[in-house]
Amino acid sequence: RLLKYVVIRTPSNEESDTTPSTQCQFDLANVLKKEMKDLGICNVILTDSCFLYGKIPATPGYENAPAIGFIAHMDTVSDYCDHDIKPMITEKYDGEALALGESGVTLSPEMFPHLKNLKGRTLITSDGTTILGADDKAGIAEIVTAAEYLLAHPEIKHGRIAIGFTPDEEIGRGAHKFDVKKFGAEWAYTMDGGEIGEL
């Protein structure tokens, strides 16, 4: 799912005065809208400003539980995003310096000390010629995957769950047109972190 999302280029543009700041953010929003509907997420709404909302109903007996929301942003930084993004998968990462394709760029544990904690894991990076865009398409993939799991496992009890995907976070404007009422959650978590375990 993450690999599907990252190849859709969605850089925001701080020089734009529109919302979204770039129309390409709708390319991902429309893919997500269809995927959400196909999974059975209810009340899927994509606004003219590229805010995407959806709901998972409460399981029977939990309709009065507090509604909890999950949010992630669809845009990426505009740096190093001017051509096709080619994800690179490294299985059983050895914890050492990692060359990104043939770009001449290397991920180094000296520069990124948390890489040492990823030894033995599978890493997804770009090929070094672009950004990957995991910020925050990883958060989107987490939310959609969790929604898919909950919808497939009704034995997991929960109140109503709200989902929101927003534009333009990277330029500081992703929240100014966020419709809190339409989103409909009493509390929400933004799935946008750095190291494993961060929320």
Residues that are catalytic? 75, 169
Element at 68 (helix H, strand E)? strand 68-73
Gap between the Cα atoms of 171 and 55, Å rounded? 27
Q: Give the contacts of 1 (CB within 8 A, at least 6 positions apart).
A: 141, 144, 145
Gap between the Cα atoms of 191 and 199, Å rounded? 6
CA distances in angstroms from 60 to 63, 74, 90, 148, 178, listed in the order given: 7, 32, 43, 18, 29
